[in-house]
Amino acid sequence: MAMFFKPAELQPREVKPLDAFPVALPAGSVSGIVFADQLAEEVFVHHLIASALKDGPVYHIGPGALSVRVLEELSESVSNLYAGNAYTVEELMEALRLVEDASLVIVRRFPLLLNVSAENVVELKRTADEKGLFLVLCHPSLELNELDLPGEFGKLFLLPELFDLLAVLRTSSYRGHHRMNITVLRAPAEYVASVGDHSVPIDSLARPFLHRG
């Protein structure tokens, strides 16, 4: 079947990684997130998982490390958390067929998966839509060209126009205080006003990663 219709939801479920994050992720969405440093990646991923765990299952697909110890500090329970690794886009597509509908799925280092093509990106978008997923494709970039972010997203995600959210996250610190600096290039319709640059304090959010015993 080439196309399908379904009733439009007036109040679709949303997930926010941080209270001060300028955009919420709607159900059925695909997000492309690029991290310019590791602290930005860990804060975003772990707090997004903690935020979503209370509402249902969360799937973390590596390769990429995840600290269950930190998540136990951030969440009442991690019993809804499932983790696994995918190294090819075929393995990722198979995993997405197994996840529960309306769940959060975080895929780390997506551009490094073998055999990724534009056709795969279309299928990922279709799967997220049909299953009502919160699908977040992430990648840490140590050589990000800040002067051509649209070009960077094109290289990393192939069809960035299909994504509901495109954002770059970086952290900065000054005299012991940390901030997350966010550039939103594309946002869901209700959050178009959030396209642009934002900076939010993350001292308490970063603490579990900076003060380990």
The pLDDT value recorded for residue 142 is: 84
Q: Which CATH class is domain 14-210?
A: alpha beta
The pLDDT value recorded for residue 1 is: 46
- Model confidence over 71-106: pLDDT tens digits? 999 998 899 999 999 999 999 999 999 999 999 999
Contact 112, 88 (CB under 8 A): no
Query: Residue 141: exposed, middle, or buried by beta-carbon count in 10 A (0-12, 13-18, 19+)?
Result: middle
The pLDDT value recorded for residue 26 is: 93
Residue 196 has pLDDT above 80, yes or no: yes
Residue 127 has pLDDT above 50, yes or no: yes
Rounded average pLDDT over 155-173: 97
Domain map of the chain by residue range? 14-210
How far apart are alpha carbons 171 and 179 in whole angstroms?
6
**CA atoms lying within 13 Å on the CB side of residue 122:** 3
Rounded average pLDDT over 48-71: 92
The pLDDT value recorded for residue 211 is: 74
Rounded average pLDDT over 133-157: 94
The pLDDT value recorded for residue 25 is: 95
Contact 165, 184 (CB under 8 A): yes
- Model confidence over 4-34: pLDDT tens digits? 666 666 567 899 989 999 999 999 999 999 9
